[in-house]
Amino acid sequence: MENIKIAFQGEMGAYSHIACQKLFPGASIKACSTFEETFKTAYEDENFRIVIPIENSLAGRVADIHYLLPKYGLQIYAEHFQTVEHNLLVKDNAELKDIKYIRSHAQAIDQCQKIIQKHNFKTIISADTAGSAKELSKGSDKSIGAIASTLSATIYKLKVLMKNIEDESNNVTRFLIMGKKIEQPPYEKNKKYITSCIFRLKSIPAALYKCLGGFATNQVNLTKLESFSVKNTFDQTNFYLDLEGHIEDTRVQKALEELGFHTQNLNILGVYEASPFRQKK
């Protein structure tokens, strides 16, 4: 593939932008206003890879991603775990005594409550962290600060008044790297892999219990299993699943075969090498 390009959702300076820079140094990076636009970008141009946050260690899963994964049929070919470090950004002429308001994404504000309560800041909810920094840079009010990345400070020419103001230091976001026409890596026994899929169960008693039995009997470890509703109905549920192993591993094949017996549909989203971050746990 030539001229690889990267797309992410958010403003330049977002934590997704930082992940893109780490994963693809020097690549051409496109910021998209929505997740839908991001997926569509790679669907329409196979030279694009997209870097998508799927879950955060503190905030849980990212909304809407589970619905977009099967819709566009892109393949996961890697994962990345990004530490989130929040910073208090202000205008160049502002000091701590000037700050009365803090602007940021709701989750970032929730994750920085200690500093907000300590200084009795009033909060302003924004669409995202980098967007809050961008808005701050456009105005002249030095009583407003923003919670965002140091990359945002550089891009929007703001001052970093305080670094690492998050309440919890173990704030990590897991990203999926996806694209079109991705070939899965060949199976090597000395490497660790993740296989991701989405499935819908048959509407019969004990279907979930039975489909999970195949993983138990074949000793395949599940690292993630969560349900999400099928849109426009309360009657059906989809499941997103991550398992340890490669689809060419006999144990994984048998477990997925058993899963298939009890599902209406099964969509393999990708087979990829497990991030070294998992070994640190």
Q: What is the CATH number of domain 87-162?
A: 3.40.190.10
Domain ranges in the chain? 5-83+171-179, 87-162, 193-280
* pLDDT for 232: 63
Cα 222 to Cα 111: distance, rounded to the nearest angstrom: 28
- 263 within 8 A of 220, measured Cβ to Cβ: no
CB atoms near residue 104 (< 10 Å):
30
Q: Name the token pair of 112.
A: 């920085």
- Catalytic residue IDs: 173, 175
* pLDDT for 51: 98
* pLDDT for 58: 86
3-state per-residue secondary structure call for 174-232: EEEEEECCCCCCCCCCCCCEEEEEEEEECCCCCHHHHHHHHHHHCCCCEEEEEEEECCC
> Assign residue 161 a region: left if phi > 0, alpha if psi is -120 to 50, beta otherwise?
alpha
Paired residues of 260 in beta bridges? none
Q: Fold match between 87-162 and 193-280?
A: no
- 197 within 8 A of 73, measured Cβ to Cβ: no
Q: What is the CATH number of domain 5-83+171-179?
A: 3.40.190.10
* pLDDT for 1: 45
Token pair 């160049």 is found at: 92
- Could you name the CATH architecture of 193-280? 2-Layer Sandwich (3.30)
* pLDDT for 198: 96
Cα torsion angle, 186, 187, 191, 195, sign: positive
Q: Name the token pair of 108.
A: 């970032």
H helices of the chain, in order, are: 15-23, 35-44, 65-72, 106-110, 113-118, 129-138, 150-155, 207-217, 250-261
- 145 within 8 A of 90, measured Cβ to Cβ: yes
Could you list the mean pLDDT of each consecutive 10-residue stretch along the chain, which spans 281 residues?
83 97 95 97 96 92 89 95 96 96 95 96 95 96 97 97 93 96 92 96 86 94 90 76 97 95 93 91 54
Three-state secondary-structure class, residue 40:
helix
* pLDDT for 174: 97
